[in-house]
Amino acid sequence: MGVVNVTPDSFSDGGRWFDTTVAVKHGLDLVTEGADLVDVGGESTRPGATRVDEAEELRRVIPVVRGLASEGVAVSVDTMRASVAERSLAAGAALVNDVSGGLADPAMIPVVADAGAPFVVMHWRGFLRGGNTDGVYEDVVTEVVDELHARVEAVLAGGIAPDRVVVDPGLGFSKEAGHDLALLAHLDRLRALGHPLLVAASRKRFLGRVLAGPEGAPPPARERDAATAAVSALAAQAGAWAVRVHEVRATADAVRVARAVEGARTAGTAPGVTGERGAPPGTAYAPGAEGERGAEGDR
């Protein structure tokens, strides 16, 4: 899954794709580089970000969604507002990616359920418990799995079909670097929830801290793409359905190699060595479809 942030203040690329024409071209470029799905967002969720008003988010997002969808691109919309989700789906979006898991706007679940659209349920204690820094865990893997399970049950009770749900552990959201690494080391526990797994590690702070070492300074966000590709390959090998990234080409290549190695290990074959990627843009979106993964990145 490739990222198009139509924002002036996202943590790694704020302002680069703020113009509609530029944003649409960037989304098309991401598809050329290997993205199966393009995630369009108009509101930053970086630490300290303030929410934009509804009219401004609609102004940023809808023309980009419409422009990409009209070119046959499979589009997801990254929003916490039901109105933005509804308008985006009407404009051609195929999936709703809500970092609050439907908690920010009570109308979100009914809108998605009525549309029959796939829905990403992300773990974020900022909305589960209130406050953006509630990152104290005794056992981060168990607690995130349990809290995601409870949120998924609520989403299902709201009318979204089980085969439309995708789960995301919310790396970097109310979590420290050690928490993020522990979750990546136990993706099997998250997959055991029984829903396609989205991993969004792109350029995040925990990668900067790993690269810095105990004494160094973290590199800037845009210098973390090699680390992102490494994590994405590991996630693909662990069975993630999609990875969300800013820089698609290197990650798509890394994921292809990881899948080829895994295929050779499990079946004695090497899928992907003749140029295959996941479902082409415009293909009906089906979370959990056998063998399909996208390439995806950070808000």
Which spans in the chain are helix H? 20-33, 54-70, 82-90, 108-115, 125, 140-157, 177-185, 187-191, 205-212, 225-237, 248-267
Amino acid 12: pLDDT: 53
Q: How do residues 279-288 score in pLDDT, each as one tens digit?
A: 433 334 445 4
Confirm whether pTM is higher than 0.75. Answer: yes
Residue with tokens 């168990």: 142
Which pLDDT belongs to residue 214?
82
| Structural domains of the chain ordered from first start | 2-295 (3.20.20.20)
**Residue 126: its pLDDT value, please?**
75
What residue type is 143 in one-letter code? E
Could you tell me which residues are beta bridge partners of residue 198? 242
CA–CA dist 47, 59 (Å, integer):
23
Active site residue 16: no
In this prediction, residue 276 carries a pLDDT of 44
Centre a 10 Å sphere on the Cβ of residue 64 and count the other Cβ atoms it contains: 28
User: Helix 108-115 crosses helix 82-90 at what angle (to 10 degrees)?
Assistant: 20
Q: What is the mean pLDDT of each run of 10 residues along the chain (299 residues)?
A: 83 63 95 97 76 93 98 97 98 97 96 98 77 76 97 98 98 93 98 98 92 88 93 94 95 92 74 43 42 38
| pLDDT attached to residue 132 | 47
Question: For residue 293, what pLDDT is reported?
Answer: 34
CB contact at 8 A, 51 and 43? yes
Q: 66, 87, 125, 204: which is the annotated catalytic residue? A: 204
Q: Would you call 294 exposed, middle or buried from its count of C-beta atoms within 10 A (0-12, 13-18, 19+)?
A: buried
87 among known catalytic residues:
no
Which listed residue (60, 244, 259, 293) is catalytic?
244
**pLDDT value of position 114:** 98
